[in-house]
A and B are shown apart, each in its own frame.
Chain A
Amino acid sequence: MAARSVPLSSARDDNRLANSLRDAAIAALMVFALGFFFLGVRTDIAPGGLALSFRWGLLFSAVAIVFAGRLLLNLFVFKTSAPITAQFSGMFSGTGSSFAGLGKWLARALLAFAIVLPFFFTYFFPNKDRQYIDLAILIMTYIMLGWGLNIVVGLAGLLDLGYVAFYAVGAYSFALLAQNFGFGFWMALPLAGLLAAFWGVILGFPVLRLRGDYLAIVTLAFGEIIRIVLLNWYDFTNGPDGISGIPRPTLFGLEFSRGEGGFADFFGIPYDSIHRFIYLYYIIFVLAIITNLVTIRLRRLPVGRAWEALREDEIACRSLGINTTNTKLTAFSIGAMFGGFAGSFFATRQGFISPESFTFLESAIILAIVVLGGLGSQIGVVIASVVMIGGIEMLRNLGFLQHVFGDGFDPTQYRMLIFGLAMVLIMVWRPRGLITTREPTAVLKEKKRIGADMVAQGEGH
């Protein structure tokens, strides 16, 4: 048996090499055909018209890279019985469970860091503190939005592609209340949340009966409708010009301004514009923590269990006497409410809002955060927000790449490319998100985490 298998396998090896070479050659040929026009030929403006210049070196190096890369992939991954990637996945499979154990400590460490974050940056990076705290505020806003959307998508399993609509409703509620009635931030905040929740119910009604792709399409349309109404209702929303002069938040009436009666003056410390940023950071931090605590508590309440049950099996829910209409509407409205809170924070932070800020891309980023973090996972949303928002910003600082690729290389142009590549890799590595396990909401004897393969994803995924 063993003796016979030797010639067979060597024949298979010959075959494999030949196949791999042929496959790589085909790929290289395709690159040549496609790249000839994109890479090989270049038009330059010359006196009297355009001049063609040929860049054979570039073209053939691209062909060579593809040939070599494809050949290596074929030999070691695609056409072999023991692909190298299998070892990778073996390596990573262990991390799933260790993540779970790590999760608790990671969450505590992140929370502790988040509490001291502004002082950490002012102390260690006094020159760049404003930039970093601003970034931290941005990340925190997305964490809050992610947690809010997590209720709808992660817990109730209703895919919402128009979440930014509630963000916009919150922002515009505050801006318009401030502009027309002179509301301050703290007075407008609950109203903005309520209005967003109201719009959550308005959206909820038509999509109650929809499933799957249809739900996603209608929510997507809803997000666009809100933006287009804001854009075109000029008398009310000031259209594309946006609303400016939105009041800054105050600390019990103290404004963060220079001079008499301001925060610095009251406490007798020298005025520094960083105070306002630190204050904004703590506002969004507290709002996000409230979102998180409420979500955690809701999960242990009957309504939260009903959301998760709804994600698992709607028909079974109805057979158990759960009013699925109300359950879906509460999910939509509570998720929307947190979106509204975040929106009114966004308005006060920016001081200016316009429909430009509420495009579909925002919805997509928030949804990507939830999906990347792992549906239903709170800590996953935090990690994903830091990676996505922080990552995009960090990729602005790729100056060192100029040393590698020469002065003509502009790294900021490749920001989104690198980001996209990273997303693809993460989704290949962990297709169900970073934190995939689900924590049970009630325990009889021993708490066991539930693997992602058991948990349903709900509608529209």
Chain B
Amino acid sequence: MGSVLQNEVDGAAPARWDETPILSVEHLTMRFGGLVAVNDLSFNVGRGDITALIGPNGAGKTTVFNCVTGFYKPTEGRTAMRHGAGLQASAIEEVTRSDRRYKESPQGSVYLLERMPDFEISQRAKVARTFQNIRLFGGMTALENLLVAQHNPLMIASLFTIGGILGVPGYKKAEKQAIEKARYWLEQVHLTERADDPAADLPYGAQRRLEIARAMCTDPLLLCLDEPAAGLNPRESHELNELLKFIRETHGTSILLIEHDMGVVMEISDHVIVLDYGVKISDGDALHVKSDPRVIAAYLGVDDEAEIDVPEIKHDLEEVVEEAQELAAADKSKPKPKPKKPRPAAKASGAKPAARNAGSPARAKAVVPAPSEIKIKNAADFPGRQPHGTKKPGPPGADNLTRIKGIGPANEKKLNALGIWRFGQIAVWKAPEVDWVGAWLAFPGRIQREEWVKQAKTLAKGGATAFSKRVDKGDVPTSKARKPRSGGKGGKP
């Protein structure tokens, strides 16, 4: 799926953010034990852009943030921050090959964030961040919060404390400047009146603004905001938009933000990246993303007929079906040489092959290595192995696959196109098949996560899962209820 999107992007002229990115995230993967929170994610953040990272809950947005700002060490991948203009590809390659964390020069510096400790990312690479659950220093005043943010320049001015204790004049001056800067930012976030109040005493919206002001006091080149509009009322949300635009225009700071509030995202973002289950599903400007069917599907959790209308998926599907027919025709004319023989005849409608293909998982296992009867043109493009499928479901008829949590009518159709008709067929999938189907359905990782195979095993034995019971009762709108609707809506015998 990644490749599909890449082609999309490559097809058009390179976007602005790909020409002069300030931050490049390349092949970022973050695993927590067995859980893959972010999988092979690549994107660019344009210089001077407001870039939004959106996606449903649990999509891995905050994990990406934590990797970029050094709070997590990514399992794989490279995050490069550039201070100079252009791609500076040679400098980045040079640093990557060496053991160094960064290369600084007057023309432009590059920093490999995944190698740097978190405090250095803020101090040197000039990436500041805010937190989803506000992390102010509650017992310190708003002013003190902004002074703490200027720790590093003040530390140098105080000659690493020694000069400060002895009272060198340079420190007094530096502190005055620091207070002036704090005053400036307090004005920008309308908190001058509350400068001497403890941060924990401020109302929620003010705390959010103060946190942004605090991050800006570190003089960042890239400001990462984790859900800055969460919990704000519409007026505050609007003020936030103005503040972010002001920051970008006046200070030239690039902004990367995670946001759920689509109003904020669509209004101010130059560039939107959509994540779902740790994978990038869309990347482009707000307009492009808004109309991307994958995004709509991810957001609404839809897996409905609507999705089948997405042109490219429809096209994929048509291709598959077409090919299957061609193959069937070819099959009829002359039997293929090697793999065909041991395989049960495709058209055979006897009880035996049906039992072998769709029967109990134990018996079906023996069949697994056999190649599918359905040929997919670009089957080799996907990792793993195409699962075995049959052209017809066999006498007992097809199972209602939507009883598996995660499979809706659209996916059921696609699976049917692969020759997957029955729970027993899914139940025998091993890792290669799961990977392949996942990639083919453009849902990498989702099959494991939703445990399709485990569900299928239960259902193949005639058991029921909590989800399937709800489907049978007709409680799940995205699935078809078993008896009354399966014939009509599913369209399968």
With A305-B151, A321-B119, A445-B195 given, is the CB distance from A312 to B140 under 8 Å? yes
| Bound complex: CA A326 to CA B92 (Å) | 29
The interface stretch among B53-61, B123-131, B403-411, B420-428 is: B123-131
**Minimum CB distance partner of B165 in chain A:** A297
**Minimum CB distance partner of A309 in chain B:** B148
| Bound complex: CA A456 to CA B138 (Å) | 7
Chain A residues in 8 Å Cβ range of B136: 312-313, 316
Contact, CB under 8 Å: A302 / B155: yes
Give the residue among A298, A303, A309, A444 with the most B Cβ atoms within 10 A: A444
16 intermolecular pairs with C-beta atoms under 8 Å apart: A301-B161, A301-B165, A302-B148, A302-B164, A303-B164, A305-B140, A306-B148, A313-B135, A316-B135, A319-B71, A320-B128, A321-B123, A321-B218, A322-B148, A444-B186, A445-B195
A330 part of interface (Cβ distance < 8 Å): yes
The interface stretch among A103-111, A115-123, A222-230, A435-443 is: A435-443
| Bound complex: CA A445 to CA B179 (Å) | 12
The interface stretch among B1-9, B197-205, B256-264, B358-366 is: B197-205
Chain B residues in 8 Å Cβ range of A322: 119, 148, 151-152
Chain B residues in 8 Å Cβ range of A202: none
A9 part of interface (Cβ distance < 8 Å): no
**Minimum CB distance partner of B130 in chain A:** A319
B132-148 near A? 1/0 per residue, CB < 8 Å:
00011111110110011
Give the residue among B123, B129, B148, B214 with the most A Cβ atoms within 10 A: B148
State which residues 198-235 of B face A: CB under 8 Å: 198, 200-201, 214-215, 218
| Bound complex: CA A306 to CA B198 (Å) | 16
**What are the 9 closest A-B residue pairs judged by CB atoms, nearest first?**
A455-B139, A321-B122, A321-B123, A312-B137, A316-B135, A302-B154, A444-B195, A301-B164, A454-B198
Contact, CB under 8 Å: B161 / A298: yes
A447 part of interface (Cβ distance < 8 Å): yes
Chain B residues in 8 Å Cβ range of A451: 198
Please pick, from B120, B143, B155, B198, the residue contacting A303 in the complex, using a CB distance under 8 A.
B155
Give the residue among B120, B151, B175, B214 with the most A Cβ atoms within 10 A: B151
Chain B residues in 8 Å Cβ range of A442: 141, 143-144, 147, 175, 179
A315 part of interface (Cβ distance < 8 Å): yes
With A316-B135, A320-B218, A440-B141 given, is the CB distance from A303 to B122 under 8 Å? no
A318 part of interface (Cβ distance < 8 Å): yes
Give the residue among A306, A324, A454, A456 with the most B Cβ atoms within 10 A: A454
| Bound complex: CA A321 to CA B214 (Å) | 12
Chain B residues in 8 Å Cβ range of A455: 138-139, 198
Contact, CB under 8 Å: A320 / B164: no
Chain A residues in 8 Å Cβ range of B196: 440, 443-448
B69 part of interface (Cβ distance < 8 Å): yes
Beyond A302-B150, A443-B143, list 20 extra A-B contacts (CB 8 Å): A301-B158, A301-B161, A301-B165, A303-B155, A303-B161, A305-B140, A305-B147, A312-B136, A313-B138, A316-B131, A317-B119, A319-B118, A320-B151, A320-B214, A321-B123, A440-B140, A440-B144, A440-B196, A448-B141, A456-B138
Count the A-B residue pairs with Cβ separation under 8 angstroms: how many? 144
Chain A interface residues (CB < 8 Å from chain B): 294, 297-298, 301-303, 305-306, 308-309, 311-313, 315-324, 330, 438, 440-448, 450-451, 454-456
Please pick, from A305, A323, A445, A456, the residue contacting B148 in the complex, using a CB distance under 8 A.
A305
Contact, CB under 8 Å: B137 / A440: no
**Minimum CB distance partner of A306 in chain B:** B151
| Bound complex: CA A311 to CA B119 (Å) | 17
Chain A residues in 8 Å Cβ range of B179: 442, 444
**Minimum CB distance partner of B197 in chain A:** A448
**Minimum CB distance partner of B134 in chain A:** A316
Chain A residues in 8 Å Cβ range of B197: 448
B459 part of interface (Cβ distance < 8 Å): no
| Bound complex: CA A446 to CA B196 (Å) | 7
B245-269 near A? 1/0 per residue, CB < 8 Å:
0000000000000000000000000
Give the residue among B139, B164, B179, B192 with the most A Cβ atoms within 10 A: B139
| Bound complex: CA A381 to CA B175 (Å) | 29
| Bound complex: CA A322 to CA B117 (Å) | 11
* Size category, B interface: 35 or more
**Minimum CB distance partner of B201 in chain A:** A454
State which residues 355-386 of B face A: CB under 8 Å: none
| Bound complex: CA A445 to CA B142 (Å) | 12
Min Cβ gap B116→A in Å is 11
Please pick, from A315, A321, A440, the residue contacting B151 in the complex, using a CB distance under 8 A.
A321
Chain A residues in 8 Å Cβ range of B182: 444
Min Cβ gap B225→A in Å is 12
Contact, CB under 8 Å: A330 / B161: yes
Min Cβ gap B477→A in Å is 41
B167-202 near A? 1/0 per residue, CB < 8 Å:
100010001000100110010000010011110110
Please pick, from A305, A323, A446, A450, the residue contacting B119 in the complex, using a CB distance under 8 A.
A323
| Bound complex: CA A450 to CA B144 (Å) | 12
B149 part of interface (Cβ distance < 8 Å): yes
Chain A residues in 8 Å Cβ range of B120: 321
Chain B residues in 8 Å Cβ range of A303: 155, 158, 161, 164
| Bound complex: CA A37 to CA B442 (Å) | 79
Contact, CB under 8 Å: A450 / B141: yes
Min Cβ gap B182→A in Å is 8
Contact, CB under 8 Å: B161 / A317: no
Contact, CB under 8 Å: B122 / A319: yes
| Bound complex: CA A446 to CA B186 (Å) | 15
Please pick, from B158, B198, B201, the residue contacting A302 in the complex, using a CB distance under 8 A.
B158
Min Cβ gap B296→A in Å is 34
Please pick, from A305, A321, A456, the residue contacting B144 in the complex, using a CB distance under 8 A.
A305
Chain B residues in 8 Å Cβ range of A450: 139-141, 198
Contact, CB under 8 Å: B183 / A319: no
**Minimum CB distance partner of B148 in chain A:** A309
| Bound complex: CA A223 to CA B186 (Å) | 45
Give the residue among A302, A305, A313, A447 with the most B Cβ atoms within 10 A: A302
Min Cβ gap B417→A in Å is 49
Min Cβ gap A40→B in Å is 53
| Bound complex: CA A303 to CA B175 (Å) | 13
Chain A residues in 8 Å Cβ range of B201: 454
Chain B residues in 8 Å Cβ range of A308: 137, 139-140, 144
Chain B residues in 8 Å Cβ range of A319: 69, 71, 118, 122, 128-129, 131, 135, 215
**Minimum CB distance partner of B158 in chain A:** A301
Chain B residues in 8 Å Cβ range of A323: 119, 123
Chain B residues in 8 Å Cβ range of A306: 148, 151
Chain B residues in 8 Å Cβ range of A311: 139
Please pick, from B118, B144, B149, B195, the residue contacting A318 in the complex, using a CB distance under 8 A.
B118
**Minimum CB distance partner of B138 in chain A:** A454
Chain A residues in 8 Å Cβ range of B144: 305, 308, 440-442
Contact, CB under 8 Å: B119 / A309: no
Min Cβ gap B205→A in Å is 18
Min Cβ gap A296→B in Å is 11
Contact, CB under 8 Å: B149 / A320: yes
| Bound complex: CA A312 to CA B199 (Å) | 11
Please pick, from A301, A312, A317, the residue contacting B138 in the complex, using a CB distance under 8 A.
A312
**Minimum CB distance partner of A441 in chain B:** B144
| Bound complex: CA A312 to CA B196 (Å) | 17
Chain A residues in 8 Å Cβ range of B123: 321, 323
Contact, CB under 8 Å: B141 / A317: no
| Bound complex: CA A321 to CA B149 (Å) | 8
Min Cβ gap A312→B in Å is 4
Give the residue among B136, B141, B179, B201 with the most A Cβ atoms within 10 A: B141
| Bound complex: CA A438 to CA B158 (Å) | 24
Min Cβ gap A300→B in Å is 8
**Minimum CB distance partner of A455 in chain B:** B139
Chain B residues in 8 Å Cβ range of A456: 138-139
| Bound complex: CA A422 to CA B129 (Å) | 48
Min Cβ gap A64→B in Å is 49
Min Cβ gap B183→A in Å is 6
